[in-house]
Amino acid sequence: MATEGATAADTIVLVHGLWLTPLSWEKWIEHYEGKGYNVIAPAWPGMDGEIDEVRSNTKPYENLGVREIADHYEQIIRKLDKPPIIIGHSFGGLITEVLLDRGLGAAGVGISPAPIKGILALPFSSLKVASVALKNPANRHKAVTLTPDEFRYGFGNLLSVEESRRAYDRLAIPGPGRVLFQAAFSNFTPNSPAAVHPKSSNRAPLLLMANGKDHTVPAAVTKTAFKIQQKASSPTGLKEYPDRSHYTFAQDGWEGVADQALEWAEQHASVPAAA
């Protein structure tokens, strides 16, 4: 149940992750619109347009960082009539946590969120995926492309080779390496843009969703984020799906994930005083 005095959110903001565009949310947009919500899924700054154009011209976004992406979504959210439900996947999950930390949103859901500051140990599989960018310091200011094999390891590990390749051809784009460097070195960076402050912020309720077959953000990373976020005075929830991967947004059974995310957000949505 929403907290006392809450105003029901009528808009859902979907935040996509690294190496993807809002096209990754196409099924969720239709699904949530069918439930009567206004759904907006903005692209990261510089990633507007058809996917072939975004792939071929990386200049507008190759130097993007966490703060610039969060600022972009904050501007969009502040123009809405009421605080929305914010749902993000992967780096979009990290952005969701940052936006809630700024006092935005009625409720938030982070699906396999990229690590916030304070997560000290990353599993080998996370480092393997991130090494695509981290192996070369010059990638801090470049857009880095996954190969089909790297995409299958990071996203499509529960898909057949053919299914993963189709997903790659339809969805994958180069991603700004800078966000990976910021997340990887956040614990050594004062005022890191990947930091949240659950004890002191006016954070809206937050649900974190962990996926047991996820190579990019293993469930252990999400569970550690939950321990950090649990220090907030507002509700913090955790749901784990033992048999889902980082491709959970389109993997068979995605409807159940979408429904559980929305149901939790509807039950806990509140309007933070800061909003």
Q: What digits encode the pLDDT tens for the residues 144-165? A: 999 999 999 999 999 999 999 9
Residue type, 33: E
Contact between residue 106 and residue 85 where contact means Cβ atoms under 8 Å apart: yes
**In the structure encoding, which two tokens stand for residue 118, read together?**
């304070």
- Give pLDDT, residue 43: 98
If 0-12 CB within 10 Å is exposed, 13-18 middle and 19+ buried, where does residue 14 land? buried
Domain assignment of residue 114, yes or no: yes
In this predicted model, which residue has the larger pLDDT, 274 or 43? 43
211 in any annotated domain: yes
pLDDT of residue 274 exceeding 60: no
pLDDT of residue 200: 83
Give the bridge partners for 12, in sequence order.
39, 85
CATH number at residue 201: 3.40.50.1820
- What is the structure's pLDDT at 202? 86
275 has pLDDT over 60? no
pLDDT above 70 covers what percent of the chain?
95
Pairing type for strands 175-176 and 107-111 reads: unpaired
pLDDT in tens, 91-107: 999 999 999 999 999 99
* Whole-structure pTM value: 0.94
Q: Is residue 5 part of a domain?
A: no
**pLDDT band (50, 70, 90) for residue 270:** low
Specify if 212 maps to a domain: yes
Collapsing DSSP to helix, strand or coil, 188 comes out as helix
**If you average pLDDT over residues 123-142, what whole number do you get?**
91
Q: What pLDDT, on a 0 to 100 scale, did the predictor assign at position 18?
A: 98
Report d(CA 260, CA 251) in Å as an integer.
15
User: Is residue 28 in a domain?
Assistant: yes
Is residue 187 in some structural domain? yes
pLDDT in tens, 51-60: 999 999 999 9
Residue range of the domain that includes 248: 11-266
How many structural domains are present in the chain? 1
For the chain, what is the mean pLDDT? 93
Q: Is residue 274 part of a domain?
A: no
* Per-residue model confidence (pLDDT) at position 127: 87
Residue listed under structure tokens 């976020």? 229
> What is the mean pLDDT of the segment spanning 116-134?
90
* 197 pLDDT above the threshold of 90: yes
**For residue 152, is it within any domain?**
yes
- 124: confidence class by pLDDT, cuts 50, 70, 90: confident
Classified as helix, coil or strand, 229 is helix
Pairing of strands 107-111, 206-211: parallel
Query: Which pLDDT score, from 0 to 100, does residue 164 have?
Result: 98
Between 2-6, 76-80, 168-172, the lowest mean confidence (pLDDT) is in 2-6
Contact present, 36 and 20 (Cβ < 8 Å): no
